[in-house]
Amino acid sequence: MKPRTGSSVLRLAVPFKALAQRFAVLFLVLAAFGLMLLSKAETVVVERAVTTISDIAAPIMDVLSRPAASLNAAIETARDLAYLRTENERLRRENARLLAWQDAARRLADQNEALQALLDFKPDPRMNHVSARVIGDAGGAYARSMLLNAGRRDGVAKGQAVVTGDGLVGRIVAAGAWSSRVMLLTDINSRVPVTVESSRNRAILAGDNTNLPRLIFLPANAVVRPGDRIVTSGHGGIFPPGLPAGRVVAVGDSGVRIQPFVRLDRLEFVRAIGYSGVSAAIPEEGDDAEAERR
Amino acid sequence: MTGTLTQRMDRFARHLLPLAISVVLVILSVVPVYLPGYGQIAANLVLMAVFFWSVYRPDLMAPAPVFGIGLLLDILSGMPPGMNALILVLVRSVVVTQGRVFRGKSFLVLWWGFSLVALGASLCLWLLSMGYSFVVLDPMPGVFRWALTVALFPFFAWIFVRVQNAVLQ
């Protein structure tokens, strides 16, 4: 009798199990939609869970991203060696030119300080920066973002601007304890208030998932030419003013296209910048040494 | 349940392998590779693993862990949580119900099936991404990504078959 009862239980159990599994799939599908809606509504619980999981994975990704980074560094070193002489010559010339600029900058800084004192001018707050390594950069086909190995404990906060020595990279959109996520300038959701440096026209730099973001809300009478530098305007209070964002490369029917100064697909180290204290007009020597720890 | 405790633990560990490989592929697919433009067309390695084991060992690719793997991919790649989770759970369901079409057939049949499933998954991702951000998105990065994923499938399938034969027999 025993095996018979066993098999009849089994006969009952198999469709039951299939049914349960079907319900499990239905439940998971609904859960996925629910999660997407909650994250769209920027629910705090979901945001916190996401940053916590990123925090847990960050050390593993940090380790795994190192071989790729070393390989990349080795390839670049080899490339640099090949162009050592020409590069040296170019740097020599650039150095001479920059020394002249430094003189000019010092003179202007002194003058600026004197004029500010005359006018009782409120200086821009000082920016402090946190250096971080890029440990994840697959935003998928329809988003452009990166994961950094620094978080709230290091002083990174949501909303901070992210830069390299070349210019603006993007903005912190989520900060965990040890990791944070940057939305790049080129992401379809990225909007940065900027000014055209030569004409001081204000506009918004809007990403659209291509490599060349667009300028939108440019005044109708504004004149923009290829080659014009685009810098952050500081409006909206998120980004410090004057961060170089990119250069105009095309003005046409598809709008004004900007080539970012930073090569966004080869980033290894970046800096997140926040406000604190009062800034000096010219950075002290060695200020950037820590940031560019290559 | 037969065998001693060690045998059971051994089998348990072996049976976790498809999921463990999927998790490793999640991490591998988000680590930076410094190839210009690769980030947007990076092959969907996780989809390959979920597809392969949903065909050959659906018992080791239960819906809930597949959901978890998708969620991990969403979080680490900065996509809306739930998007890849949804797509992978749907892929698993479709493949498990159609499993007989692939099992015991030639590799070309499997490859052809994978290309269709990957196309469906890419389409889902494109539509969900547009629905999520209320903008029209250029489908081309998704198309390139699909092509690269299908092109790399034989290589990864070869690895999966080796793992399957070595550990899961």
pLDDT at B146: 92
Does the pLDDT of residue B92 top 90, yes or no? yes
Q: Do A138 and B29 touch (CB under 8 A)?
A: yes
Does the pLDDT of residue A148 top 70, yes or no? yes
Split into its structural domains, chain A has a count of 1
pLDDT at B39: 65
pLDDT at A172: 92
Question: How far apart (Å, rounded) are the C-alpha atoms in residues A235 and A165?
Answer: 22
Q: How far is A5 from chain B (nearest CA, A)?
A: 19
**pLDDT, average across residues B54-75:** 91
Question: How far apart (Å, rounded) are the C-alpha atoms in residues B81 and A66?
Answer: 26
Q: Is residue A273 part of a domain?
A: yes
pLDDT tens readout for residues A40-76: 888 888 888 888 988 988 888 888 888 877 887 888 8
Q: Is residue A138 part of a domain?
A: yes
pLDDT at B134: 84
Q: Do B36 and A140 touch (CB under 8 A)?
A: no
pLDDT tens readout for residues A157-178: 888 899 988 889 999 998 999 8
Does the pLDDT of residue A104 top 80, yes or no? yes
Q: Is residue A150 part of a domain?
A: yes
Question: How far apart (Å, rounded) are the C-alpha atoms in residues A94 and A212?
Answer: 28
Residue A294 pLDDT class (50, 70, 90 cuts): very low
pLDDT tens readout for residues A118-137: 887 776 666 778 889 888 87
Q: Which residue has the higher pLDDT, A22 or A8?
A: A22
**pLDDT, average across residues B52-61:** 89
List the one residue out of A39, A226, A127, A53 whose CA is nearest residue B69: A53
CATH number where A131 lies? 2.40.10.340
Contact A189, A170 (CB under 8 A): no
Q: How far is B83 from chain A (nearest CA, A)?
A: 7
Q: Is residue A131 part of a domain?
A: yes
Q: Is residue A193 part of a domain?
A: yes
List the one residue out of A198, A197, A211, A202 whose CA is nearest residue A257: A211
Split into its structural domains, chain B has a count of 1
Does the pLDDT of residue A258 top 80, yes or no? yes
Q: Is residue A28 part of a domain?
A: no
ipTM: 0.86
For residue B163, what are the domain limits?
5-167
Question: How far apart (Å, rounded) are the C-alpha atoms in residues B77 and B94?
Answer: 25
B83 contact A CB<8A: yes
Alpha-helix runs per DSSP H in chain A: 2-40, 44-82, 84-119
Residues linked to residue A182 through DSSP beta bridges, in sequence order? A146, A172
Q: Is residue A92 part of a domain?
A: no
Q: Is residue A260 part of a domain?
A: yes
Q: Which of residues 123-152 of B touch A (CB under 8 A)?
A: 125-126, 128-129, 132-133, 135, 137-138, 141-142, 144-145
For residue A239, what are the domain limits?
127-278
H or E element at residue A275: strand A269-278
